[in-house]
C-alpha cells in the first residue's frame, strides 16, 4: 500500500509532457493520409473513419461538441452522381464527318440532371470566347446569340485584355489584370451558360490559365461527381464538361477555325460569338445515390463571458478524392498535402489554443466535407451556419500547409481586401517575415477553397497559401518545389507522406495563426472589408449598416 501511495504521489508531481506541435502535426497528418482512410471520399467507409477520428481528437483536445443536437457533426446532404457519358460532333454539312473524343483522356462530360437520362441531339456548337457577361467592364461574350438548346464552348479564366499603353502587359483596370476574378472560374462558366438556357457547356482546358494540368480535370471530373441535395437548386445545363486543348484544336479545325486566332479575338470587347459549323450529340445516363456527409465541429469558448457569443471560425477540408479501382498500381488518392496537412494543422491550432491563453471571443473549428467536389461542405455551412454569421468576425481557412521548411515570407490569398491584412503583417513581422499577396493570382486561388463561401456571405476571410522565399534557399527554389508538386502530385495517388518533409515552417505558421486569432479575439473593433472589396456591401447589409 505504501508503495502504491508513493507511486501516485510521484505521478502527481511529474509535470505533464510539453506539447510538441511538430510531432502533433506529423502524427495527425500521417494518420489521416493513411491507406486505412481510403482517400477520405465523402460517402465512403473512409468518411466514417475520418469523422470518427476528428471527433475523437477534438474531444481529446478539450473542445466542446458544436454540431447539431450536441453532437460533433453537421449533416451535409449530398447527391453522388456517377454518369455514363457519350460525346460526339458531326459536321453540319456532312453527316458522315464525325469526331468523337476519347473519354476521359481527351474530354470529360457529366450532368447534374438526376430526373432521367440526358439526350442532346444535333445541338449547334457555338464558341462564346470566355463566356463572360460583366457589365462593370462593359463586357458581353454573348452578343446577339440565342443560346437555348445550343452547346457552348468557352475558354477558362478571364479575358486577358492587353494594355494599349503597354504592349504585352495586361490592362489592370480590366478583370483585375493578372488576378483571376470569379468570372474566370469554371463554376461561373457553368452558371452563366445555365442562365442563358444552353443545353451544354464545354470549357477548353489550358494548363497555364487553369492553373493545373489536364490530368487533374480527368481525375476529378471524370469520376463520381457530387452536388448538394437541394430540391430548390437553380436550373443547370443538361451537360457540362471540359475539352482538352489538343482535342479542342482538332474540333475547331474541323469547322475551318483556328484556335489561336479565336482565342486572340476573344480577348477583346468587340468579340462576337462564332458558330463552329458542327453539331453536338450528347448523352449521359446517371446513377444517383443520396449521401449524408458531415462537417465536424468543435468549439473553444472565449475567455471573456461578455464576448464569448462572438465567434472566429477556423476551417479546413477533411475530404480528398477517395480511391479509384480502375487505376493500375496505387489506387488510393491519399491527399497528404491536400488536405490531410491542413486538417492536421487545424487540430494542432485548436490544441495550442486550448492548452494556452484562450482568445477573449470563442473559436469554432470546422473540418468541412466535399471541398474537392465544389466547396460543398463550406457552402452548406455558410447557408446553415452553426453560429450566426452576423456574430462571426472572421474565417481562417487552412488548405495545405508549408512542409518545405521555415519561410521568409507569408503569402496571403486576397491580400489587400480586408483589415485582417494589418493583423497578419504585425505578427509576421514578429517572426521576421514579410507578407504579400499570392505569387500566382491568375490561378484564382481565392475562389478555389472554403473561405470563399464565408467571403461570399460577407465574412472577412484569411487564407494563407504556399510561401515563395525560404530561409537558406535560392530565390527560385520555392517556385520549383511548388511547380513539381502541381505537376507530379496534386490530385494524384502520389500525394503521400514524404520522408523529406520539414515541419518547421508549418509549426511557424500555426504559431502565426494563433497570434492572429488571439489578436482578433481581443480587439475592440471587428475586421472589415476594405473599400472596393467585392464582398463589402454584403457585410454591411448583414450588420445593418449603410455602406461606407
The mean pLDDT value for 138-163 works out to: 96
- Identify the residue with better confidence: 177 or 347: 347
The pLDDT, as a whole number, for residue 8 is 39
Q: Are 521 and 312 in contact (CB under 8 A)?
A: yes
Q: With cut-offs at 50, 70 and 90, classify the pLDDT of residue 3.
A: low
Query: Residues 31-63: pLDDT tens digits?
Result: 999 999 999 999 999 999 999 999 999 999 999
Please compute Rg for the chain using Cα positions. Answer: 25
The pLDDT, as a whole number, for residue 546 is 62
3-state secondary structure of 464: strand
b/e per residue, 525-545, with b = 16+ CB within 10 A? eebbbeeebebbebbbeeeee
The mean pLDDT value for 482-498 works out to: 95
Q: With cut-offs at 50, 70 and 90, classify the pLDDT of residue 443.
A: confident
Query: Residues 450-483: pLDDT tens digits?
Result: 999 999 999 999 999 999 999 989 999 999 999 9
- Identify the residue with better confidence: 411 or 224: 411
143: which DSSP letter? T
Q: Is the pLDDT of residue 12 over 50?
A: no
The pLDDT, as a whole number, for residue 534 is 86
The mean pLDDT value for 303-314 works out to: 97
Q: Are 517 and 393 in contact (CB under 8 A)?
A: no
Q: Is the pLDDT of residue 1 over 50?
A: no
Q: Whose grid coordinates read 457569443?
A: 309
pTM for the whole structure: 0.88
Q: Is the pLDDT of residue 5 over 80?
A: no
From residue 223, how far is each of 85, 95, 193, 228 by CA, in Å? 11, 31, 22, 17
- The CATH label, of 3.30.365.10, 3.40.50.720, 3.40.630.10, 3.50.50.60, for the domain at 19-79+289-542 is 3.40.630.10
Q: Is the pLDDT of residue 410 over 90?
A: yes
CATH number for the domain running over 80-288: 3.50.30.30
What are the sequence ranges of the domains in the chain? Answer: 19-79+289-542, 80-288
Question: HEC string of 213-274?
Answer: CHHHHHHHHCCCEEEECCCCCCCCCCEEEEEEHHHHHHHHHHCCCCHHHHHHHHCCCCCCCE
DSSP string, 324-376: -TTSSS--B---IIIIIHHHHHHHHHHHHHHHSPPPSSEEEEEEES-STTTSH
Amino acid at each position: 500500500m505504501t508503495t502504491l501511495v508513493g507511486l501516485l504521489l510521484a505521478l502527481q508531481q511529474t509535470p505533464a509532457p510539453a506539447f510538441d506541435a511538430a510531432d502533433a502535426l506529423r502524427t495527425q497528418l500521417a494518420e489521416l493520409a493513411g491507406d486505412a482512410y481510403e482517400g477520405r471520399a465523402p460517402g465512403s467507409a473512409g468518411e466514417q473513419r475520418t469523422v470518427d477520428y476528428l471527433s475523437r481528437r477534438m474531444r481529446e483536445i478539450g473542445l466542446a461538441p458544436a454540431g447539431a443536437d450536441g453532437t460533433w457533426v453537421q449533416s451535409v446532404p449530398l447527391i453522388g452522381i456517377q454518369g455514363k457519358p457519350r460525346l460526339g460532333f458531326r459536321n453540319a454539312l456532312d453527316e458522315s464527318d464525325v469526331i468523337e473524343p476519347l473519354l476521359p483522356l481527351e474530354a470529360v462530360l457529366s450532368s447534374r440532371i438526376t430526373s432521367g437520362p440526358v439526350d442532346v441531339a444535333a445541338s449547334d456548337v457555338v464558341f462564346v470566347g470566355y463566356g463572360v457577361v460583366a457589365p462593370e467592364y462593359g463586357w458581353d461574350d454573348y452578343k446577339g446569340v440565342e443560346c437555348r438548346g445550343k452547346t457552348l464552348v468557352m475558354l477558362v479564366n478571364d479575358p486577358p485584355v492587353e494594355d494599349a499603353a503597354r504592349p504585352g502587359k495586361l490592362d489592370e483596370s480590366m478583370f483585375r489584370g493578372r488576378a483571376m476574378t470569379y468570372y474566370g472560374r469554371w463554376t461561373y462558366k457553368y452558371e452563366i451558360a445555365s442562365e442563358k438556357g444552353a443545353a451544354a457547356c464545354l470549357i477548353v482546358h489550358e494548363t497555364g490559365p487553369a492553373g493545373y494540368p489536364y490530368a487533374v480535370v480527368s481525375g476529378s471530373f471524370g469520376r463520381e461527381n457530387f452536388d448538394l441535395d437541394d430540391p430548390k437548386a437553380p436550373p443547370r445545363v443538361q451537360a457540362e464538361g471540359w475539352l482538352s486543348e489538343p482535342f479542342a484544336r482538332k474540333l475547331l479545325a474541323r469547322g475551318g477555325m483556328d484556335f489561336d486566332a479565336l482565342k486572340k479575338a476573344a480577348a477583346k470587347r468587340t468579340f462576337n460569338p462564332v458558330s463552329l459549323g458542327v453539331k453536338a450529340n450528347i448523352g449521359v445516363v446517371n446513377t444517383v445515390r443520396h449521401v449524408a456527409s458531415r462537417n465536424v465541429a468543435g468549439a473553444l469558448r472565449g475567455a471573456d463571458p461578455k464576448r464569448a457569443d462572438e465567434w472566429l471560425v477556423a476551417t479546413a477540408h477533411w475530404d480528398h478524392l477517395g480511391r479509384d479501382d480502375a487505376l493500375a498500381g496505387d489506387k488510393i488518392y491519399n491527399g497528404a498535402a491536400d488536405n490531410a496537412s491542413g486538417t492536421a494543422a487545424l487540430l494542432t491550432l485548436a490544441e495550442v489554443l486550448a492548452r494556452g491563453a484562450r482568445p477573449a471571443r470563442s473559436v469554432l473549428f470546422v473540418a468541412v466535407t466535399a471541398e474537392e467536389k465544389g466547396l460543398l461542405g463550406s457552402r452548406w455551412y455558410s447557408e446553415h451556419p452553426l453560429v450566426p454569421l452576423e456574430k462571426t468576425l472572421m474565417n481562417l481557412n487552412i488548405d495545405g500547409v508549408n512542409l518545405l521548411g521555415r519561410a521568409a515570407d507569408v503569402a496571403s490569398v486576397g491580400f489587400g481586401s480586408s483589415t485582417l491584412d494589418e493583423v497578419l503583417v504585425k505578427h509576421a513581422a514578429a517572426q521576421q517575415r514579410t507578407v504579400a499577396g499570392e505569387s500566382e493570382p491568375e490561378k484564382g486561388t481565392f475562389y478555389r477553397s472554403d473561405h470563399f463561401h464565408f467571403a461570399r456571405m460577407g465574412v472577412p476571410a484569411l487564407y494563407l497559401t504556399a510561401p515563395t522565399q525560404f530561409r537558406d534557399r535560392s530565390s527560385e527554389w520555392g517556385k520549383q518545389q511548388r511547380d513539381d508538386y502541381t505537376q507530379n502530385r496534386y490530385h494524384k495517388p502520389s500525394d503521400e507522406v514524404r520522408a523529406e518533409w520539414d515541419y518547421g515552417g508549418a509549426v511557424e505558421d500555426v504559431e502565426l495563426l494563433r497570434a492572429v486569432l488571439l489578436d482578433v479575439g481581443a480587439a475592440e473593433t471587428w475586421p472589415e472589408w476594405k473599400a472596393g472589396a467585392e464582398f463589402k456591401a454584403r457585410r454591411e447589409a448583414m450588420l445593418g449598416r449603410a455602406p461606407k
